[in-house]
Chains A and B, each alone.
Chain A
Amino acid sequence: GENVEQHPSTLSVQEGDSAVIKCTYSDSASNYFPWYKQELGKRPQLIIDIRSNVGEKKDQRIAVTLNKTAKHFSLHITETQPEDSAVYFCAASNALRRGYQKVTFGTGTKLQVIP
Protein backbone atom coordinates (compact mmCIF):
# COMPACT_ATOMS: atom_id res chain seq x y z
CA GLY A 1 0.00 0.00 0.00
CA GLU A 2 0.84 3.66 -0.07
CA ASN A 3 3.32 5.07 2.45
CA VAL A 4 3.60 8.82 3.02
CA GLU A 5 6.48 10.30 4.97
CA GLN A 6 6.42 13.89 6.18
CA HIS A 7 9.21 16.13 7.47
CA PRO A 8 9.89 17.92 9.69
CA SER A 9 7.65 16.85 12.55
CA THR A 10 7.96 20.30 14.15
CA LEU A 11 8.89 23.65 12.64
CA SER A 12 9.34 27.02 14.29
CA VAL A 13 9.70 30.16 12.20
CA GLN A 14 9.70 33.88 12.89
CA GLU A 15 6.67 35.80 11.73
CA GLY A 16 7.20 36.95 8.15
CA ASP A 17 9.61 34.14 7.28
CA SER A 18 8.79 31.24 4.97
CA ALA A 19 7.98 27.69 6.00
CA VAL A 20 8.51 24.55 3.92
CA ILE A 21 7.11 21.12 4.67
CA LYS A 22 8.13 18.11 2.59
CA CYS A 23 6.44 14.79 1.89
CA THR A 24 7.39 11.69 -0.04
CA TYR A 25 5.11 8.95 -1.26
CA SER A 26 5.73 5.41 -2.46
CA ASP A 27 2.90 4.52 -4.84
CA SER A 28 3.53 5.85 -8.34
CA ALA A 29 -0.21 5.48 -9.04
CA SER A 30 -1.05 8.26 -6.59
CA ASN A 31 -2.40 11.21 -8.52
CA TYR A 32 -3.91 13.65 -6.03
CA PHE A 33 -2.05 15.36 -3.18
CA PRO A 34 -4.02 17.48 -0.71
CA TRP A 35 -2.70 19.44 2.23
CA TYR A 36 -4.74 19.88 5.38
CA LYS A 37 -4.44 22.33 8.25
CA GLN A 38 -5.64 21.21 11.65
CA GLU A 39 -5.88 23.66 14.50
CA LEU A 40 -5.92 22.34 18.04
CA GLY A 41 -9.14 20.49 18.77
CA LYS A 42 -10.58 21.14 15.33
CA ARG A 43 -11.19 19.16 12.17
CA PRO A 44 -8.67 18.97 9.31
CA GLN A 45 -9.41 21.53 6.64
CA LEU A 46 -8.17 21.45 3.07
CA ILE A 47 -5.91 24.39 2.30
CA ILE A 48 -4.52 23.47 -1.11
CA ASP A 49 -4.26 20.46 -3.36
CA ILE A 50 -2.47 19.44 -6.53
CA ARG A 51 -3.12 16.83 -9.15
CA SER A 52 -0.43 14.78 -10.81
CA ASN A 53 -0.73 16.55 -14.14
CA VAL A 54 0.46 19.82 -12.56
CA GLY A 55 3.90 20.65 -11.20
CA GLU A 56 3.04 23.67 -9.08
CA LYS A 57 0.01 25.45 -7.71
CA LYS A 58 -0.25 28.68 -5.79
CA ASP A 59 -2.97 30.31 -3.74
CA GLN A 60 -1.96 33.64 -2.21
CA ARG A 61 0.72 32.87 0.40
CA ILE A 62 0.50 29.11 -0.03
CA ALA A 63 2.05 27.04 -2.80
CA VAL A 64 2.54 23.37 -3.45
CA THR A 65 5.09 21.73 -5.74
CA LEU A 66 5.08 18.19 -7.03
CA ASN A 67 7.93 16.12 -8.43
CA LYS A 68 6.41 12.92 -9.80
CA THR A 69 9.73 11.44 -10.79
CA ALA A 70 11.15 11.74 -7.31
CA LYS A 71 7.76 11.06 -5.68
CA HIS A 72 7.85 14.07 -3.45
CA PHE A 73 5.74 17.17 -2.91
CA SER A 74 6.14 20.20 -0.73
CA LEU A 75 4.08 22.91 0.91
CA HIS A 76 5.45 26.43 0.94
CA ILE A 77 3.99 29.16 3.13
CA THR A 78 5.40 32.65 2.62
CA GLU A 79 5.12 35.67 4.91
CA THR A 80 3.99 33.48 7.77
CA GLN A 81 1.58 34.88 10.34
CA PRO A 82 0.75 33.70 13.87
CA GLU A 83 -2.58 32.34 12.65
CA ASP A 84 -0.66 29.93 10.43
CA SER A 85 0.35 28.06 13.60
CA ALA A 86 -1.27 24.61 13.39
CA VAL A 87 -0.53 21.02 12.44
CA TYR A 88 -0.26 20.44 8.71
CA PHE A 89 -0.86 17.08 7.08
CA CYS A 90 0.02 16.02 3.58
CA ALA A 91 -1.80 13.17 1.91
CA ALA A 92 -1.57 11.07 -1.22
CA SER A 93 -4.54 9.67 -3.02
CA ASN A 94 -5.06 7.11 -5.71
CA ALA A 95 -8.34 7.96 -7.42
CA LEU A 96 -9.49 4.61 -8.66
CA ARG A 97 -11.47 4.02 -11.82
CA ARG A 98 -14.66 3.29 -9.92
CA GLY A 99 -14.88 6.88 -8.77
CA TYR A 100 -13.53 6.57 -5.26
CA GLN A 101 -10.12 7.15 -3.82
CA LYS A 102 -7.85 5.76 -1.16
CA VAL A 103 -6.18 8.48 0.89
CA THR A 104 -3.05 8.01 2.98
CA PHE A 105 -2.00 10.78 5.37
CA GLY A 106 1.43 11.83 6.50
CA THR A 107 2.32 12.03 10.18
CA GLY A 108 1.92 15.78 10.43
CA THR A 109 4.08 18.86 10.98
CA LYS A 110 3.47 21.14 13.90
CA LEU A 111 4.18 24.67 12.70
CA GLN A 112 4.75 27.41 15.22
CA VAL A 113 4.99 30.99 13.99
CA ILE A 114 6.71 33.17 16.57
CA PRO A 115 5.50 36.80 16.64
Chain B
Amino acid sequence: AQSVTQPDIHITVSEGASLELRCNYSYGATPYLFWYVQSPGQGLQLLLKYFSGDTLVQGIKGFEAEFKRSQSSFNLRKPSVHWSDAAEYFCAVGALTGGGNKLTFGTGTQLKVEL
Protein backbone atom coordinates (compact mmCIF):
# COMPACT_ATOMS: atom_id res chain seq x y z
CA ALA B 1 0.00 0.00 0.00
CA GLN B 2 1.13 3.53 -0.67
CA SER B 3 2.09 5.94 2.10
CA VAL B 4 3.46 9.44 2.56
CA THR B 5 5.67 10.78 5.34
CA GLN B 6 6.09 14.45 6.15
CA PRO B 7 8.64 14.45 8.95
CA ASP B 8 8.26 18.10 9.94
CA ILE B 9 5.04 18.89 11.78
CA HIS B 10 5.83 22.59 12.21
CA ILE B 11 8.31 24.85 10.47
CA THR B 12 8.98 28.53 11.17
CA VAL B 13 10.86 30.74 8.72
CA SER B 14 11.46 34.44 8.44
CA GLU B 15 9.87 36.35 5.60
CA GLY B 16 12.27 36.46 2.67
CA ALA B 17 14.10 33.31 3.73
CA SER B 18 14.15 30.15 1.66
CA LEU B 19 11.90 27.21 2.43
CA GLU B 20 12.09 23.47 2.00
CA LEU B 21 9.34 21.10 3.11
CA ARG B 22 10.18 17.43 3.12
CA CYS B 23 8.10 14.59 1.73
CA ASN B 24 8.95 10.91 1.43
CA TYR B 25 6.66 8.42 -0.26
CA SER B 26 6.29 4.68 -0.50
CA TYR B 27 4.72 3.21 -3.61
CA GLY B 28 5.62 0.18 -5.68
CA ALA B 29 4.95 1.63 -9.11
CA THR B 30 5.47 4.94 -10.86
CA PRO B 31 4.38 7.56 -8.35
CA TYR B 32 2.05 10.40 -9.10
CA LEU B 33 2.94 13.08 -6.58
CA PHE B 34 1.15 16.21 -5.49
CA TRP B 35 1.60 19.15 -3.14
CA TYR B 36 -1.49 20.91 -1.78
CA VAL B 37 -1.84 23.96 0.46
CA GLN B 38 -4.61 24.62 2.96
CA SER B 39 -5.51 27.89 4.68
CA PRO B 40 -7.30 27.60 8.04
CA GLY B 41 -10.85 26.29 7.74
CA GLN B 42 -10.61 25.99 3.97
CA GLY B 43 -10.31 23.30 1.35
CA LEU B 44 -7.09 22.28 -0.36
CA GLN B 45 -5.52 24.01 -3.34
CA LEU B 46 -3.14 22.27 -5.69
CA LEU B 47 0.36 23.80 -5.80
CA LEU B 48 2.02 21.41 -8.24
CA LYS B 49 2.13 17.83 -9.43
CA TYR B 50 4.62 15.36 -10.87
CA PHE B 51 3.79 12.56 -13.26
CA SER B 52 6.94 11.93 -15.30
CA GLY B 53 9.67 13.69 -17.23
CA ASP B 54 11.62 16.58 -15.78
CA THR B 55 12.19 15.91 -12.10
CA LEU B 56 11.99 19.59 -11.17
CA VAL B 57 8.43 20.83 -11.44
CA GLN B 58 7.18 24.36 -11.15
CA GLY B 59 3.95 25.29 -9.48
CA ILE B 60 1.88 28.27 -8.54
CA LYS B 61 2.88 31.03 -6.12
CA GLY B 62 6.58 30.55 -6.88
CA PHE B 63 6.81 27.02 -5.50
CA GLU B 64 8.80 24.19 -7.02
CA ALA B 65 9.43 20.57 -6.11
CA GLU B 66 12.09 18.05 -7.02
CA PHE B 67 11.40 14.36 -7.50
CA LYS B 68 14.25 12.07 -6.44
CA ARG B 69 13.46 8.45 -7.14
CA SER B 70 16.59 7.16 -5.38
CA GLN B 71 15.53 8.86 -2.16
CA SER B 72 11.76 8.38 -2.61
CA SER B 73 11.39 12.07 -1.98
CA PHE B 74 9.41 14.96 -3.40
CA ASN B 75 10.49 18.04 -1.44
CA LEU B 76 8.77 21.38 -1.88
CA ARG B 77 10.87 24.55 -2.11
CA LYS B 78 10.47 28.28 -2.39
CA PRO B 79 13.43 30.70 -2.71
CA SER B 80 11.83 33.56 -0.76
CA VAL B 81 8.86 33.09 1.53
CA HIS B 82 6.10 35.69 1.84
CA TRP B 83 3.96 36.19 4.93
CA SER B 84 0.94 35.01 2.92
CA ASP B 85 2.55 31.58 2.53
CA ALA B 86 1.71 30.73 6.13
CA ALA B 87 -0.59 27.70 5.85
CA GLU B 88 -0.57 23.94 6.10
CA TYR B 89 1.07 21.97 3.32
CA PHE B 90 0.23 18.42 2.33
CA CYS B 91 2.12 16.00 0.14
CA ALA B 92 0.13 13.22 -1.54
CA VAL B 93 0.71 10.18 -3.71
CA GLY B 94 -1.81 9.00 -6.27
CA ALA B 95 -2.30 5.32 -6.97
CA LEU B 96 -4.49 3.19 -9.17
CA THR B 97 -5.97 0.45 -7.02
CA GLY B 98 -8.52 -2.27 -7.63
CA GLY B 99 -11.19 0.17 -6.53
CA GLY B 100 -9.98 2.94 -8.80
CA ASN B 101 -7.97 6.10 -8.28
CA LYS B 102 -6.88 6.68 -4.72
CA LEU B 103 -5.02 9.66 -3.23
CA THR B 104 -3.08 9.19 0.00
CA PHE B 105 -1.93 12.19 2.02
CA GLY B 106 0.82 12.82 4.53
CA THR B 107 0.08 14.31 7.93
CA GLY B 108 0.96 17.83 6.80
CA THR B 109 3.47 20.53 7.71
CA GLN B 110 2.28 23.72 9.35
CA LEU B 111 4.28 26.70 8.11
CA LYS B 112 4.62 29.83 10.21
CA VAL B 113 6.22 32.95 8.72
CA GLU B 114 7.85 35.48 11.01
CA LEU B 115 7.84 39.08 9.87
Asked if A and B bind, the verdict is: no
Using a CB–CB cutoff of 8 Å, the interface residues on chain A facing chain B are none
**Could you tell me which B residues sit within 8 Å of A by CB distance?**
none
